[in-house]
Amino acid sequence: MKRTGAQIFVESLKAQGIDTIFCYPGGATLNITDALTDISQIRQVVVRHEQAAVHAADGYARASGKVGVALVTSGPGATNTVTGIATAYMDSIPMVVFSCQVNTMLIGNDAFQEADIVGITRPCTKHSYLVRDVKDLARIIKEAFHIAESGRPGPVLVDIPKDVSSALHDFKYPERVHIRSYQPTYIGHSGQIKKAMRLILHAKRPVLYTGGGVISSNASIELTRLAEVLSIPVTNTLMGLGGIPGDHPLFLGMLGMHGTYAANMAITESDLIIAMGARFDDRATGKTDEFAPHAKIIHVDIDPTSISKNIKVDIPIVGDTRNVLMHMLKIVEDEKDTYKQHHHNVAEWIEKIKQWKKNYPLTYQKNSTLKPQYVIERVFGLTKGKAIITTEVGQNQMWTAQFFKFLKPRTCLTSGGLGTMGYGFPAAIGAQVAFPGSLVIDIAGDGSIQMNIQELATAVQYSLPVKVVILNNGFLGMVRQWQELFYEKRYTWTHLHSPDFVKVAEAYGAVGLRINEEKDVDRILKQAFKNNRPTFIDVHVSPDECVYPMVPAGASLKEMLLV
């Protein structure tokens, strides 16, 4: 039986086991939109702006570990996805974005709502396809999902012209994918792993520096285990938070520009850095010449291009983080007696770190004003860490990274690489769709929340009880902080007028709450977390608070400004 391209599309998604798509209709989607009528296996969440569809698919993917799917129309629908795609690309999030396209005949003619979206997104996708013939559609969909979720995950774009979605062809979903030019390396080279383990065995001041690769390869149990059996302290990048429980005694906190004193000093004085699924981003390393000056570096990553890109490493291991960690644990298990001595080797180091943590904890000055850090501490306290947290970008993001102790992987959803304001709210919607029973909280700022505030309508329409804690300081706080520290307090462009967020929430049919004083924090947050509706909590916090510690841009990690 012949089917239309649109039907083939729907059958392919079903065969792929896709249960949710985030979408927005338009002229070019209509064949597919129509084919999805009454298809109950695929939940269709219609957002209010295409950027949000992609962020929601991203949040869905990060929280669940499954591939996120977005579907948009041609032209502006497609170009609106670019920020979302670039966000997912920088953070290696598995995602397939289907953009619809004008008729094949019209491509290149500057037709109405035509954009060369394959060309536009080429530098920020893992791969992309323009489907030129309906006979290729099922195969391309299969390949797109395979590429998105294998190796180093990433977004894949599939552009489907309208005449392709109406053309007829037989449907057969391929069982397997074979791409001769794409075979990621999962198994780390055993010789390299042995070499690495020898270095670890003799290290006196080792540090595990781990990133998003630990989360995406689901390696947090193995990472925690390796840290424990060898007594190696662990620092996380922003993307790696939750890779080891945030309250674990071996956890140093985040490193980098707004990292903890203990983490940054441990890196600086270390004699062996074991990097796992991290990519030595400039926000993590500070000045690269002075990054870990005394250390040898082992780097485990599934993407060879990440290795020796910013920092020359001594032992590269290309492979899946979890796989390599399991291999390392096996070696420790097999040579128990040898590795026993390691605890003794590092005892002095562990003691030193304990002192750093004790003497320079993350802190802030308490006074009569309501501090944003306190609010996040209470969000953590009241939820006991049992929540999926998304953030926007800026101070809200850094304070969350510092003061919310992420206990589990896939609970910290944040735009780490691209730093996309407006990410957190739609990502929270995506996470809530994936986990309807979980408490999902977006920690936002008054600036960021307005970048995708229209998604309140989506949350209300689909009864998604997302909570948005707006740390409202009346400023674009992080930029204001830089102006305060480096531009002689000229607050040009950063003092913004905001609407009444409580009324905005109510106007959309959501719940709006406000906190002005410290004494109200617990009561109002509890009220918000208890209700089963989308809720904005407008928290009026101290306007001039800065994020500390801070390593100024371009400085080395040991040059921290403390509170």
Partner 1 sequence: MRHTISLLVENEFGVLSRIAGLFSGRGFNIESLCVAESLDPTISTMTIVTTGNDAILEQILKQLNKLINVIKVVDFKDIDYVSREMILVKVNAEEKTRAEILRIVEIFRGKVIDVSSRTYTVMITGDEDKLGAFLNLIKPLGIKELVRTGPIAMARGERMLKIKEKTEMKEESNG
What's the alpha-carbon Rg for the chain, to the nearest Å?
Answer: 24
Per the structure block, which two tokens stand in for 550? Answer: 């801070």
Is 104 a residue that touches partner 1 (CB under 8 A)? no
Is 288 a residue that touches partner 1 (CB under 8 A)? no
Segment 144-149 long-range contacts (CB within 8 Å, at least 24 positions apart)? 144/96, 145/16, 145/67, 145/96, 146/177, 146/179, 147/179, 147/182, 148/67, 148/94, 148/95, 148/96, 149/67, 149/94
Q: CA angle, corner 352, sides to 351 and 357, nearest 5?
A: 95
Is 276 a residue that touches partner 1 (CB under 8 A)? no
Is 131 a residue that touches partner 1 (CB under 8 A)? no
**Beta carbon nearer to partner 1, 179 or 563:** 179
Is 519 a residue that touches partner 1 (CB under 8 A)? no
Quick check: 32 and 71 in contact, CB under 8 A?
Answer: yes
Is 147 a residue that touches partner 1 (CB under 8 A)? yes
**Beta carbon nearer to partner 1, 200 or 541:** 200
Q: State yes or no: is 478 an active-site residue.
A: yes
Is 119 a residue that touches partner 1 (CB under 8 A)? yes
**Beta carbon nearer to partner 1, 257 or 307:** 307
What SS3 class is residue 79? helix
Is 123 a residue that touches partner 1 (CB under 8 A)? yes
Q: Burial level of 279, CB count in 10 A (0-12/13-18/19+)? A: buried
Q: Point out the catalytic residue in the list 2, 105, 112, 386.
A: 112
**Least separation in angstroms between CB 115 and partner 1:** 16
Instruction: Using CB under 8 A, pick the residue from 3, 48, 62, 126 that binds partner 1.
Output: 126
Is 309 a residue that touches partner 1 (CB under 8 A)? yes
Q: Which of residues 364-403 bind partner 1 (CB under 8 A)?
A: none
Edge to edge, the sheet with strand 315-318 lists 251-254, 234-236, 206-210, 272-276, 296-301, 315-318
Is 191 a residue that touches partner 1 (CB under 8 A)? yes
Is 308 a residue that touches partner 1 (CB under 8 A)? yes
**Beta carbon nearer to partner 1, 188 or 213:** 188
DSSP, residue by residue, 343-406: HHHHHHHHHHHHHHHHHS-S-----SSPPHHHHHHHHHHHHTT-SEEEE-SSHHHHHHHHHS--
Q: Point out the catalytic residue in the list 11, 22, 50, 380.
A: 50
Q: Which of residues 407-426 bind partner 1 (CB under 8 A)?
A: none
Neighbour-count burial for 139-164, b at 16+ CB within 10 Å, e otherwise: bbbbbbbbbbbbbbbbbbbbbbbbbb
Is 153 a residue that touches partner 1 (CB under 8 A)? no
**Least separation in angstroms between CB 179 and partner 1:** 7
Instruction: Using CB under 8 A, pick the residue from 122, 194, 354, 523 that binds partner 1.
Output: 122
Q: State yes or no: is 44 an active-site residue.
A: no
**Beta carbon nearer to partner 1, 305 or 492:** 305
Q: State yes or no: is 162 an active-site residue.
A: yes
CB atoms within 10 A of CB 388: 25
**Least separation in angstroms between CB 136 and partner 1:** 11
- Alpha helices (H) along 117-174: 117-121, 137-149, 162-166
Is 189 a residue that touches partner 1 (CB under 8 A)? yes
Q: What is the dihedral of CA 479, 480, 481, 482, to 10 degrees?
A: 60
Q: State yes or no: is 112 an active-site residue.
A: yes
User: Among the candidate windows 186-194, 202-210, 255-263, 394-402, which touches partner 1 by CB under 8 A?
Assistant: 186-194
Per the structure block, which two tokens stand in for 270? Answer: 């270390």
Q: Cα(548)–Cα(263) distance, rounded to whole angstroms?
A: 14
Per the structure block, which two tokens stand in for 351? Answer: 């003691």
Is 525 a residue that touches partner 1 (CB under 8 A)? no
- Alpha helices (H) along 408-520: 424-434, 456-461, 477-486, 501-508
**Least separation in angstroms between CB 183 and partner 1:** 6
Is 167 a residue that touches partner 1 (CB under 8 A)? no
Q: State yes or no: is 222 an active-site residue.
A: no
**Beta carbon nearer to partner 1, 65 or 184:** 184
Q: Cα(433)–Cα(59) distance, rounded to whole angstroms?
A: 9
Which helix (H) or strand (E) is 324 found in, with range? Answer: helix 321-334
User: Among the candidate windows 185-193, 235-243, 261-269, 509-517, which touches partner 1 by CB under 8 A?
Assistant: 185-193
The residues binding partner 1 (CB under 8 A) are 118-119, 122-123, 126-127, 130, 147, 179-185, 188-189, 191-192, 195, 303-305, 307-309, 312, 315-319
Annotated catalytic residues are 50, 112-113, 162, 478
